[in-house]
Amino acid sequence: MDVTSGPAGSPTTHNARSEAGARRGLDGDAVFRVLVTGAGVTVLALLGAIILVMLFGGVQAFSTFGPAFLVSNVWNPVTHHYGALAPVFGTLVTSVIGLLIAVPLAFGAAFWLTQLAPARVSAIIGMAVQLLAAVPSIIFGMWGFFVVRPLMAHYVQPNLRHTIGHVPVLGALVQGAPFGTGLMTGGIILAVMVMPFVTAVMRDVFSSIPPVLKESAFGLGATRWEVMRQVILPWSRRAVVGAVVLGMGRAMGETMAVTFVIGNANRIGWSLFAPGNTIASLIALEFPESAAGSLKLSSLMALGAILMALSFLALCASRLMLGVSSRQARR
């Protein structure tokens, strides 16, 4: 039982009993304090080190291209020109598509699970939804590649082109050869992956509302939907936004699932069905082909730093939104 004999137990454990061990027990306390504080500081230092490594790795790229790195959409290993715009664009677009699909679904699922379903059904279905969150991302990638991609290529995209392909603005979104890969497919896979996370947070939030509020609304004759819409949602609005932003952070950092279906093309365009790239997928695909110390590697590290910054911002934002409720939960 490695829990009880634990990490700190080993040096002075069982002999340090009673009066004879009083002095050593005091030492034990000091040692233990140092040990756990050290662990805490290690975690702090770890994140610091990750950020520093990314920044130092990216220094070469940042200094070679300057601010232009952020606004250039060239990615040309032959001429050694690299820019971050296209992968950043792809990352944001796929994440936003993913959230646009996932958030209504997650809201619906959380609504059903917390307010409508019988408790036993809710427990089972809720667990199934959580299992979906546990499926490794590479499995989503394979599923996306072998199941979703053909669907997109054979049904969704041709039909969309047929129906709205000639509409002036919308038409631009569906142009391109029907490969089935691209930003839209990536977004859909992300939606399926992110939805359980957002559902889980929303579920916690919705079920933490004081029953009195709900009961008084029901007492006034409100329907369940009205209670949801006019009591629960306003009460938990900030937390719901926090959940959404948390999902955004997840979606932006996702690598394997997107890599399978994104199509790997460095481009920025209107079409949602054109192949694209995200920061994470570009790193996964290009890294094996970049020599140590090369400008390309440095550019990839710089992209990593940007991704880190994006996910940091997302987390900060969601913390601010979720802040109050999660801090209460922790106490």
Question: Which of the residues 209 through 268 are near other proteins (CB under 8 A)?
Answer: 217-228, 246, 249-250, 252-256, 260
Q: Which of positions 87-126 make contact with other proteins (CB under 8 A)?
A: 104-109, 111-113, 116, 125
Contact with other proteins (CB under 8 A) among 39, 74, 167, 320 = 39
* Cβ proximity of 194 and 252 under 8 Å: no
Decide whether 210 or 288 has the Cβ nearer to other proteins.
288
**CB-based contacts of 23: which residues, under 8 Å, 6+ apart?**
none
* Cβ proximity of 302 and 58 under 8 Å: yes
* Cβ proximity of 266 and 86 under 8 Å: yes
Contact with other proteins (CB under 8 A) among 15, 169, 288, 291 = 288
**What is the smallest separation between the CB atom of 10 and other proteins, expressed in angstroms?**
10
**What is the smallest separation between the CB atom of 128 and other proteins, expressed in angstroms?**
6
Residue by residue, DSSP assigns 205-216 as HHHTS-HHHHHH
Q: What is the 3-state secondary structure (H, E, C) of 20-74?
A: HHHHHHHHHHHHHHHHHHHHHHHHHHHHHHHHHHHHHHHHHHHHHHCCHHHHCCC
**What is the smallest separation between the CB atom of 187 and other proteins, expressed in angstroms?**
14
Decide whether 161 or 319 has the Cβ nearer to other proteins.
319
Q: Which of positions 163-182 make contact with other proteins (CB under 8 A)?
A: none
Counted residue by residue, the chain has a size of: 331
The window from 202-210, 234-242, 261-269, 306-314 that contacts other proteins (CB under 8 A) reads 306-314
Decide whether 241 or 308 has the Cβ nearer to other proteins.
308
**What is the smallest separation between the CB atom of 171 and other proteins, expressed in angstroms?**
27
Contact with other proteins (CB under 8 A) among 64, 130, 208, 325 = 130
**What is the smallest separation between the CB atom of 118 and other proteins, expressed in angstroms?**
13
Decide whether 4 or 79 has the Cβ nearer to other proteins.
4
* Cβ proximity of 141 and 260 under 8 Å: yes
Give the span between the Cα atoms of 5 and 114, in whole angstroms: 40
Contact with other proteins (CB under 8 A) among 62, 65, 82, 145 = 145
Residue 82: phi, psi to the nearest 5? -130, 140
For residue 31, give the amino acid letter: V
Could you tell me which residues are beta bridge partners of residue 82?
Answer: 75
**What is the smallest separation between the CB atom of 229 and other proteins, expressed in angstroms?**
8
Residue 145: both structure tokens together: 């590649």
Residue by residue, DSSP assigns 186-199 as HHHHHHHHHHHHHH
Give the span between the Cα atoms of 34 and 28, in whole angstroms: 10
Residue 177: both structure tokens together: 């050869």
Q: Which of positions 41-60 make contact with other proteins (CB under 8 A)?
A: 41-44, 46-47, 49-50, 53-54, 57
**What is the smallest separation between the CB atom of 159 and other proteins, expressed in angstroms?**
20
Decide whether 11 or 162 has the Cβ nearer to other proteins.
11
**What is the smallest separation between the CB atom of 64 and other proteins, expressed in angstroms?**
19
